[in-house]
Amino acid sequence: MGEELAAPSLSTDDYLSINQRTYEALADQYYERSSQDFHNDIPIVDRIWSLLETVVERRPLEILDVGCGHGVNLKMFSDLGAITTGFDFSPAMLSVAHTISPSSLLVQGDFMAHDWDAKYDLVFAKAFLHLFPFHDCPKIIQSMKSIVRDDGLIYLATTLAATSDEGYIVKHDYRGNLSRFRRNWTQGELKQFLLEQGLVIRGEWINDEPLREKTWQHVIVSAW
Ligand SMILES: C[S@@+](CC[C@H](N)C(=O)[O-])C[C@H]1O[C@@H](n2cnc3c(N)ncnc32)[C@H](O)[C@@H]1O
């Protein structure tokens, strides 16, 4: 996968500010790859949308994209008729998201610290959970549970790892050799963790992204 441990001496305490700096610097490159992501994500969004339309009767559907990055998925769900909100701690990413998905409400903040006063039919979190150390993941999942409606769904995706570990990793699939905190989740481990958090698996699949030599694991869960 071309990723290597960057600086084992860096403290986990600093991971939020290090990740924020890294994603702020990568926003332009996310914009450059947005067309490719539109294409790659069609089957993902279609699959989630079909299930969501089946289990939730309310219309229009309201979707929160946590760590929305460039906003490609916001645009896709908006085009399907959803009311969309994007949440990200990087102002530069949110500026790209505004260009790509101008009808979405965009909120800047740190998910670990944010107070929510709204509820959503879908909490969508693609390539997000793996940016947190294991000890903070229960807090992330419990926050997601608290903002999803009773009949709603949570979607999570991360790459499929052969072994479970975490640390600062250089992002070699982008220019600049920037590092960010990253956890590698094996398939069984992610599932087990979500079950322990009181969630029920409603859908799961794996797909390859050949251009970036990644295999993704996707999970749709609910609290009902
Ligand atoms: C790997 S990118 C994924 C972007 C998009 N979801 C996708 O799949 O292409 C992760 C995004 O999460 C944001 N992010 C990471 N940690 C965050 C946090 N604690 N609070 C809010 N946003 C965060 C980053 O700024 C970045 O835009």
Locate 206 and state its tokens. Answer: 């794996």
Query: What is the torsional sign of CA 154, 71, 171, 109?
Result: negative
pLDDT for the residue 115 = 95
**Does residue 146 register a pLDDT over 60?**
yes
Q: Enter the tokens of residue 172.
A: 């070699």
Percent of the chain surpassing pLDDT 90: 88
Q: What's the CATH superfamily of 12-222? A: Vaccinia Virus protein VP39 (3.40.50.150)
pLDDT tens, residue by residue, 165-224: 999 998 787 888 889 999 999 999 999 999 999 999 999 999 999 888 999 999 999 999
Taking residues 110-118, report their average pLDDT: 95
Is the distance from the beta carbon of residue 120 to the nearest atom of ligand 1 less than 6 Å?
no
Q: Helices 137-147 and 187-196 meet at what angle, rounded to 10?
A: 60
Ligand 1 atom nearest 16 alpha carbon? 19
Domains of the chain: which residue ranges? 12-222
- Does 2 score more than 50 pLDDT? no
Residue with tokens 């994007």: 86
Q: Is the pLDDT confidence value at 93 over 50? A: yes
pLDDT at 57 over 90: yes
pTM of the shown model: 0.95
> Which pLDDT score is estimated for 211?
87
Instruction: Report the amino acid identity of residue 164.
Output: S
CA angle 133, 146, 157 (to 5 degrees): 45
Residue nearest to atom 9 of ligand 1 (CA): 69
- Ligand 1 within 6 A of CB of 96: no
Which residue's CA lies nearest to atom 14 of ligand 1?
67
Q: What does residue 128 show for φ and ψ, rounded to 5 degrees?
A: -120, -55
